[in-house]
Amino acid sequence: MKHSRSRPQKPPYRGLDSKRKRAPRKPRAGKPEDHLWLWGTHAVLAALNNPARQILQLYASKNAARHVPAGHSAITTNPQDITALLPEGAVHQGLALHTRPLVAPVLDSLLAQDNAVLVMLDGVTDPRNIGAILRSCAAFGAAGAIMQARHMPPPGGVLAKAAAGALERVPLIGVTNLARALGVLADAGWFSIGLAGQSAAPITAALRHAGKLCLVLGAEGRGLRPNVARHCDMLARIPIAPDMESLNVATAAAIALYEAGRGRDSKERSSSACAEG
């Protein structure tokens, strides 16, 4: 008598009505420099509201999808799947955006602005610091930030998260040579103030000279490079307690931008009072 072999049971069929969802695959979009990721509520929502942004794909958790602006569609998935799409350590808050970089601005586009403020960063490479500085630029109305192009981190990811949406509002300009850029600014009527702790002049005194102003900040520890410092019209310091060596560069930028804005407000009030008199 032959015994028939038992056949292995097939797994149950999952048809179109199955509730099981596949995790989204990481998309491909050509060369690495042609696309980037943004994550975090402020960074992503600001990008979605920027008509200059070229959106590739938006991913959102169920809770975060409620905040997506009208006119945008998202792949709704769970937070763990979004985490898998992003670099390690990315705190995405349920939102991740795959996008093209913004069109890179050029320095010439800002030269003709009147009574404006620019920030120049010499040797500052930490994307968190750069993002925080862009956030201060947006808060205090700066027209843009300038960096050496070869030291610029990717304009997304950690930088965009720290900027909290300011990357969509403040042009981040890469130049080949900072000293040469300061010369171009000077020819266009800009006054540059380099922040240097060893300077005798407080920043409030230096700002009296400024119309169109460029604030130049160096990396923590090293400060301004000698050639960049020589091309500044003036060096100034932020007064701090003598037992403290220095400030974080992002903090120094925020203070300098605040003082620059306050100086302009007082000048405008003075000019208005003179005109009325």
**30-42 tens-digit pLDDT:** 555 678 999 999 9
The answer to whether residues 118 and 164 belong to one domain is: yes
Q: Does residue 275 carry a pLDDT above 80?
A: no
Q: Does residue 119 carry a pLDDT above 90?
A: yes
Q: Does residue 9 carry a pLDDT above 70?
A: no
The residues, any chain, with a CB within 8 Å of residue 206's CB and separated by 6 or more, are 193, 234, 236
The answer to whether residues 38 and 165 belong to one domain is: no
Mapped onto helix, strand or coil, the DSSP state of residue 219 is: strand
HSE value, Cβ hemisphere, 13 Å, CA-based, for 216: 29
The answer to whether residues 117 and 212 belong to one domain is: yes
Q: Does residue 16 carry a pLDDT above 70?
A: no
Q: How distant, in Å, are the alpha carbons of 36, 73, 74, 200, 248 from that of 69? A: 21, 9, 10, 51, 36
Q: Does residue 169 carry a pLDDT above 70?
A: yes
| Domain limit, last residue, from 49, 71, 99 | 99
pLDDT value for 212: 92
pLDDT value for 5: 54
Average pLDDT over residues 177-205: 93
pLDDT value for 14: 40
Domain count, the chain: 2
Average pLDDT over residues 208-226: 88
Band the pLDDT of 263: cuts 50, 70, 90.
low
In percent, how much of the chain has pLDDT > 70? 82
| Amino acid found at 143 | A
pLDDT value for 26: 63
DSSP letter for 172, please: E
The answer to whether residues 161 and 90 belong to one domain is: no
Domain membership of residue 15 (yes or no) is no
| Domain limit, last residue, from 61, 83, 99 | 99
The residues, any chain, with a CB within 8 Å of residue 258's CB and separated by 6 or more, are 140
Torsion of CA 232, 255, 145, 197, to 10 degrees: 30
Q: Report how far residue 235's alpha carbon sits from residue 244's, in angstroms, rounded to the nearest whole number.
A: 19
Model pTM? 0.83
Task: Give burial (CB, 10 Å; 0-12/13-18/19+) of 182.
Answer: buried
Domain membership of residue 82 (yes or no) is yes
Band the pLDDT of 28: cuts 50, 70, 90.
low
Domain membership of residue 8 (yes or no) is no
Band the pLDDT of 232: cuts 50, 70, 90.
very high
Band the pLDDT of 242: cuts 50, 70, 90.
confident
Domain membership of residue 144 (yes or no) is yes
Q: Which helix (H) or strand (E) holds 81?
A: helix 79-85
With residues binned 3-state (H G I as helix, E B as strand, rest as coil), the percentages for the chain, rounded to 5, are: 35, 20, 45
Q: Which helix (H) or strand (E) holds 266?
A: helix 249-276
Q: At which residue do the structure tokens 């019209």 appear? A: 233
pLDDT value for 104: 85
The answer to whether residues 139 and 234 belong to one domain is: yes
pLDDT value for 226: 95
| Domain limit, last residue, from 48, 80, 99 | 99
The answer to whether residues 175 and 75 belong to one domain is: no
If one counts every other C-beta atom within 10 angstroms of the C-beta of residue 63, the result is 12
Domain membership of residue 12 (yes or no) is no
The answer to whether residues 167 and 140 belong to one domain is: yes
The answer to whether residues 138 and 86 belong to one domain is: no
The answer to whether residues 232 and 269 belong to one domain is: yes
Question: Which phi and psi (to 5°) does residue 145 adopt?
Answer: -130, 145
Both tokens assigned to 138: 């947006």
pLDDT value for 220: 82
What length is written for the chain? 277
Q: At which residue do the structure tokens 């069929």 appear? A: 13
The answer to whether residues 243 and 187 belong to one domain is: yes
If one counts every other C-beta atom within 10 angstroms of the C-beta of residue 270, the result is 10
Band the pLDDT of 170: cuts 50, 70, 90.
very high
The answer to whether residues 63 and 164 belong to one domain is: no
DSSP strand E in the chain: where? 36-39, 55-60, 75-76, 95-99, 117-122, 144-148, 172-175, 190-195, 212-218, 234-236
The answer to whether residues 95 and 112 belong to one domain is: no
